[in-house]
Chains A and B, each alone.
Chain A
Amino acid sequence: MKTRWVSMSNYQEMAIAKAINAGLRRAMQKDEKVLVFGEDVARLGGVFRVTEGLLDEFGESRIFNSPIAESGIVGTAIGLAMRGYRSVAEIQFDGFVFPAFNQITSQLARLTYRSEGFQQMPVVIRIPVGGGIGAVEHHSESPEAYFAHTPGLRIVSPSNPNDAYWMIQQSIESPDPVIFLEPKRRYWQKGPVNLDTAPLPLHSARLLREGSDLTLIAHGPMVATALQAAELGAEEGVNIEVIDLRSLSPVDYPTLLASVQKTSRVVIAQEAPNNVSLGSEIAARIAEQAYYYLEAPVLRVGGFDTPYPPAKLEEEYLPDADRILEAVDRVLAY
Chain B
Amino acid sequence: MTPANEPMLQLLAPDGSYGVEKPFSRYGEVIDSLGEDQLRTFYRDMARIRRFDQEAIALQRQGQLGLWVPAIGQEAAQIGSGYAVGQNDHIFPSYREHGVAITHGVELMSILKMMRGVNHGGWNPEETRFHLYAIVLGSQVLHAVGYAMGVKLDGKVGTGDLENDLAVISYFGDGATAEGDVSESLLFAAVNEAPIVFFVQNNQWAISSNIASQTKVPLYRRGEGFGVPGLRVDGNDVLACYAATKIHMDEAREGKGPYLLEALTYRIGAHTTSDDPSKYRDESEVEYWRQRDPIARFEVFLRRQGVEESFFEEVAEAGDELARDIREQTFALPKPPLESIFDNVYSDDHPEITAQRAWLRAYEDQMGEHE
Q: Chain A residues in contact with chain B, CB under 8 A?
A: 35, 61, 66-67, 69, 71-72, 74-85, 99, 102-103, 106-107, 110-121, 151-152, 154, 174-176, 203, 250, 253
Contact = CB atoms under 8 A, between A and B. Distances in A.
Contact of B139 (A66, A75, A120): A75
Interface in B136-157: 136, 139, 141-151, 153-154
B150 A103 contact: no
B215 interface: no
Contacts of A116: 119, 121-122, 343-344
A150 to B, nearest CB: 11
B346 A112 contact: yes
Nearest to B141: A75
Contact of A119 (B122, B125, B181, B184): B125
B183 to A, nearest CB: 8
Nearest to A111: B132
B136 A79 contact: no
9 contacts: A71-B181, A75-B143, A75-B146, A80-B147, A82-B143, A83-B147, A103-B142, A112-B345, A116-B119
Contacts, number: 132
B338 to A, nearest CB: 15
Interface stretch (B3-11, B61-69, B185-193, B250-258): B185-193
Contacts of B290: none
Interface in B117-136: 119-122, 124-126, 131-132, 136
Nearest to B122: A116
A79 B191 contact: no
A268 B289 CA distance: 64
B153 A61 contact: yes
Contact of A107 (B139, B151, B187): B139
B279 interface: no
Interface string B156-196: 00000000000000000000000011001101100100000
Given A102-B136, A107-B139, 9 more contacts: A67-B187, A72-B142, A75-B139, A82-B147, A82-B150, A83-B149, A83-B153, A114-B120, A114-B132
Nearest to B190: A67
A110 B132 CA distance: 12
Contacts of B346: 112, 152, 154, 176
Interface in B205-238: none
